[in-house]
């Protein structure tokens, strides 16, 4: 899966993912066992809980890296 998904389909198992927030793409973490609205990023205050509308898995790095 490498396309944007609605936030309602986000995993709830404590993973990092790309998230779409207010017109910007950020990397964020969803706390295990929490609702999809509970995305957080300890170093990026632009990831506002509840403002995330879409998510996608972080892609694999380029081959050879």
pLDDT value, residue 13: 78
Residue 51 lies in a domain: yes
Residue 6 clears pLDDT 80, i.e. is over it = yes
Distance, CA of 62 to CA of 28 (rounded, Å): 21
Chain Cα centroid distance, residue 62:
20
Q: Report how many domains make up the chain.
A: 1
Classify residue 27: in a domain, yes or no.
Answer: yes
**Structural domain span for residue 30:** 5-57
Residue 65 lies in a domain: no
Determine the pLDDT at residue 4. Answer: 94
Instruction: List beta partners, residue 20.
Output: 25, 54
Write the DSSP symbol of residue 46: T
Residue 36 lies in a domain: yes
**Looking at the domain assignment, is residue 22 inside a domain?**
yes
Is residue 29 domain-resident?
A: yes
Q: What is the pLDDT of residue 44?
A: 67
pLDDT digits (tens, 9 = 90+) for 9-62: 888 777 888 988 878 888 887 776 665 566 766 666 666 666 788 899 988 889
């Amino acid at each position: 899966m490498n396309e944007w998904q609605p936030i309602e389909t986000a995993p709830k198992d404590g993973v990092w993912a790309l998230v779409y927030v207010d017109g910007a793409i950020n990397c964020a973490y969803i706390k295990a066992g929490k609702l999809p609205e509970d995305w957080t990023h300890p170093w990026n205050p632009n990831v506002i809980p509840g403002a995330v509308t879409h998510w996608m898995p972080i892609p694999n790095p380029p081959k050879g890296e």
